[in-house]
Every structure is written in structure tokens, then in C-alpha cells.
Amino acid sequence: MRMPHTNKAVWILLCWLSLLCAPAFAQTCVPGYPQLYGRLFEDAQKALPDGKWLMDSRPTQPPAGIVAEYENLRAQPGFDLKKFLAEQFVQPPENDHDYRTNPDHDVRQHIDALWTVLERKPGTSDGRTSLLPLPYRYIVPGGRFNEIYYWDSYFTMLGLEESGRHDLAVDMVRNFAWLIDHYGHIPNGNRTYYLGRSQPPFFAAMVNLLAERDGKKTLTAYLPQLEKEYAFWMEGSEGLARGQAHRRVVRLADGALLNRYWDDCDTPREESYGNDVATAAASGRPLAEVYRNLRAGAESGWDFSSRWLADGKTLATIRVVDIAPPDLNSLLYNLETTLAEAYAASRQTDKAAQMRKRADERKAAILRHLWNPELGVFSDYLWKEDKRTDHVTAATLYPLFFGIAEQRQADQVAERVRASLLQPHGLSTTTIDTGQQWDAPNGWAPLQWIAIQGLNAYGQKDLATTIAERWMRLNIALYKKTGKLVEKYDVTGAAVGGGGEYPLQDGFGWTNGVLRKLIVLYPAAAKPDPAQARADAPASEPLAAQASSP
């Protein structure tokens, strides 16, 4: 079917805006798939088992033509929506679709071989798809996640360095610098539908990781992008009144500045449209309020968790924008200290002093407002209510990882972690089982790494070693049983990881990266005796779940 010239022009304009209108997007929401496909988009997202499938597919003709055919056919007897979608949209080929684990590989060899499978090449612009092309090579997590992800990549880079792939780690950081330059921030991932939000700001940590090998020149090389990322997170802080918030910045009643997660859009996430519509409908709250909080939860990386829920159990009570979290503010403290160091290395002494002052002020605010002496943890802070939540979560370890905590606080955190979060196979994310994936009984590789390194930094080496060895043995036992490393694990040992909006994924970038690093630091745990390996493995096997097709 030929598309009218006007409709074609609109389609091209919308695609061009989505791909190229970047820095301005930091403060607005450009039209996307719901506007392009209208009723078809809504119907498809409700019918598909995984809404991400449509968002990542390539249309076989301009959207207006697909919409016209849909309107002509949908009311006809026997119309099959899933068949129609399969004819009108093509899922991009997966580089790893024919990959099979080599049974002769131990887990270290398996990880080293997987980097090639998960590697994606530089791309060129294709306005027909949601993928934002990147100029350098990169690693994807695997499974349904066939694009780069922001905070995942730091933990992936840990493993790349140990696998002798420093060149690829450098390319990852180059891509993130490019994204900052072109879009004003690092999106959640390199998809148009992720442009409205970022993820936990690990860019400074990535630059510091490269600097460990390449020297301080790395800090000055990426200084422009470090500045731009900081400007993105702190936009609106100047002149912000006490007790007010603007986008990602909160000015507390005492004048201190902290940050929160945010998204400028207040509509359902396009890739999780059906889920978000159902959640908002069940909430009894203004729909836009729920949508923004769901999007902010996605920016946090913890999508989703009891820590964000007003009642501690129901997703419809999500309130992310009301919270100043310890993990985010620890990351921004690290960005400020990294900027201070980069300014000093480039002989900008005034700016270095200014940024050190900001870091000191943030540290003081974290210690004053986020430390919970009753529980002995760093807590999420409800900035409107001037009170801390009572959730005990693995986020409490971020102030240790970034050197913010005082020794007495670190000792109390270690005691609480041992009593409340430590499980037979590693560190649980929270103490509450809600069915959300960032809750008990799941454990996640990035949080194990933050905990292990944070505890080691404060002399809690026995607990750090216990977490590392228990986590490694679970990973390795499941690898020996199934030939896979997966996204998340049930650290109680009762089953495999689960919960959340999609099936358990194998691949998996940050699991590979953290385990590869831990093998170097704790080599004995990489060689458990066979009896222990069998005891560590859950009874059921994870599924190699890929994005579902219609």
C-alpha cells in the first residue's frame, strides 16, 4: 500500500525528532510509537506477551500504511492480531541465536567466550527502528536486552578488564561519552523509548576504572562529559527554594541538596505499556502521577522494589519521586569527587575547590538525613515528610563503596547486613518478598559487588568473603548444571531467580562481569568440591528466555 505524501512526511519528522532532537529531549517528551500507531499500538501492547518486542522491531512499511491496513482488517471475522504483527514487523536478527555453551569450558572460559557473543558492532542510523546507533563496539546484557544499558555496563567492564578486553571497555566509555554529547545525558539504553530517563550515574566510576590502567589523563580526557552529566542531574538546583524539588534535584528544609530519580514523561512506558496501564488503573491515583513514578523507578535500575512502595507491597502505591535514595546520592558524591580530581589534574584549581565543597556538603547531608541509627543502615529518605523509611535494603552499602560512611556506621551496616540480608547463596536485595524482581529472595550481581568492595574498604573482610564465596558458588553450580549464567538468582536456594515483568534472562552481562572479577579476587571459591556444587544448585533450572514473538 502506498502511503499519502503528508502521512509519510509526518512519519519521517517523528522519527527524525526521536533520533536527533537530543539535548532538548532532556526536558521534554517527543512523540513516539503511541502517536505513530494509535489504536494499533494500544491493542498490540495489550495482546503481546512482551511489549518490548514491538518496540524493538522494524516495520515493513511506513507506520501510516500499517495503521491503514489494520483499520481495514481488524473488524473482519477471524482477524488474528498476532499474525498481523508478525507480517508487519520484523524482529532484528540476534547475533547469539545459534550460540551453544561449550561443555568443555569452565566458567572462566565460558565468560571469556561470551564477550564475543554479546558484542555489538557500531551501527548506522535507521529511522525505521527504535535503536540509537552507537559509534563504537559495545556489550549487551543478553536475552531480550539487545541494546547497551547504562549502569549494567560498569559491572560488565569489570569482567572485560579481567578477560584482557580493555579495548572493549574503552569503547563502552567512548559510547557513553558520545551519548552525553548528543543527548545531554546517558539514556537508560540506546533506544528512542529510553531517552526520557537515565539510570544510576556510573559514568564517573567507569572513567575511574579506565584511569586505573591508563592514568589520570583519562579524567581530563572525559572532563567535558563528566561536567555535562553533572549538569543533567543538577539541572534546576540554582535558586531552588527550600522544601522544593525540580526534576532530579531536591532542596531540603535545612538548605541541603540531594537528588532523586525522575522522568520528564508522565505516560506509560512504551515498552511496558500494558503493565503500566493496569497498575495505574488499580491505583486510585492520578494516572500521570503513577506513570511518572513507574518511569522514575525504571531510572533507578530497581524496577521494581518494595523500597519504592508506600505500603511496602503494592506497585500501585509507588512513590519514587518522593524519595532521596542513598545509592543515587552516593553515586553523585562520587561524580563530584571525580570532577574535583579532574579539575585539579587540568589545573583548574578554583573549580576543583568548588566541587570538593559540593561533595563535602553532599556527604554531610547523607550522613545527617539518610543514616538511620535505629536500624543501623542508610535508608531512603522521604524528603517531603522529613523522615527515613524503615526498609533494610542492599542500597545501604553504597555509602561504604564510595567511602562516605564513618567507621562506626560501616560496622553497624555490616552487623545489620549479616542479620537481615545475608542468605545461604549471597546477599538478598531486600527483606521483603513482594514478587517484584528487586526484592527478596533475589540477589543481583551488581549489589554483591557493591557490598563486597564496600565491606572490604571498612575492614569487614570476613563478611565480604562470605558474600563473595556464597555468590560465586551459586553462580558456578548453576552454570555446571545448566550451562548458563543468568540475570538474577534466588539467594535462599529455594528456586531460581524470578519475579518482575518478564521471564528470567540468560546472557548475562553484569553477572559475567562481576563473576569474572571475583574469580580473580577469590580463586578458591571458583573451585568448589563436587558435593558442595550439587548442594548449592537449586532444584529447578532457569529458562533461556528470549523476547517473545507474537
Could you report the per-residue pLDDT of 296-346, keeping only the tens digit for each?
999 999 999 999 999 999 999 999 999 999 999 999 999 999 999 999 999
Per annotation, catalytic residue among 487, 490, 506, 536: 487
Contact 175, 148 (CB under 8 A): yes
Structural domain includes residue 13: yes
Please name which of 401, 340, 409, 407 lies closest in space to residue 371, comparing C-alpha atoms.
409
Give CA–CA dist 222/177, Å, rounded. Answer: 7
Does 9 score more than 80 pLDDT? no
Structural domain includes residue 18: yes
Boundaries of domain holding 22: 5-90
Q: How many CB atoms lie within 10 A of CB 401?
A: 23
What are the Cα distances from residue 314, in Å, to 290, 308, 432? 12, 10, 12
Q: What cell numbers appear for 26 in the block? A: 532532556
Q: What is the pLDDT of residue 501?
A: 86
Please name which of 8, 7, 34 lies closest in space to residue 192, comparing C-alpha atoms.
34
Structural domain includes residue 29: yes
Beta bridge partners of 324: 381
Task: Look up 271 and say whether it is catalytic.
Answer: no
pLDDT, tens digit, 9 for 90 and up, residues 146-185? 999 999 999 999 999 999 999 999 999 999 999 999 999 9
Give CA–CA dist 501/481, Å, rounded. Answer: 26
User: What is the band of 499 on the pLDDT scale with cuts at 50, 70, 90?
Assistant: confident
Task: Look up 303 and say whether it is catalytic.
Answer: yes
DSSP secondary structure string for all residues of 465-482: HHHHHHHHHHHHHHHHHH
Contact 443, 471 (CB under 8 A): yes
Structural domain includes residue 436: no
Contact 477, 424 (CB under 8 A): no
Q: How many residues does the chain have?
A: 550
Structural domain includes residue 79: yes
Q: What cell numbers appear for 91 in the block? A: 524482529
Does 18 score more than 60 pLDDT? no
Contact 168, 512 (CB under 8 A): no
- 216-230 mean pLDDT: 98
Per annotation, catalytic residue among 50, 161, 229, 303: 303
Structural domain includes residue 460: no
What helix, strand, coil percent values describe the chain, rounded to 5? 55, 10, 40
Q: What is the pLDDT of residue 10?
A: 43
DSSP secondary structure string for all residues of 387-417: EE----BGGGGHHHHTT-S-HHHHHHHHHHH
Structural domain includes residue 59: yes
Side-chain half-sphere of 51: how many Cα atoms within 13 Å?
21
Contact 131, 147 (CB under 8 A): yes
What are the Cα distances from residue 236, in Å, to 71, 199, 239, 250, 251? 45, 19, 7, 9, 10
Which pTM value belongs to this model? 0.93
Structural domain includes residue 351: no
- As for how many domains the chain has, the answer is 1
CA torsion angle 496 498 503 509 (round to 10): -70
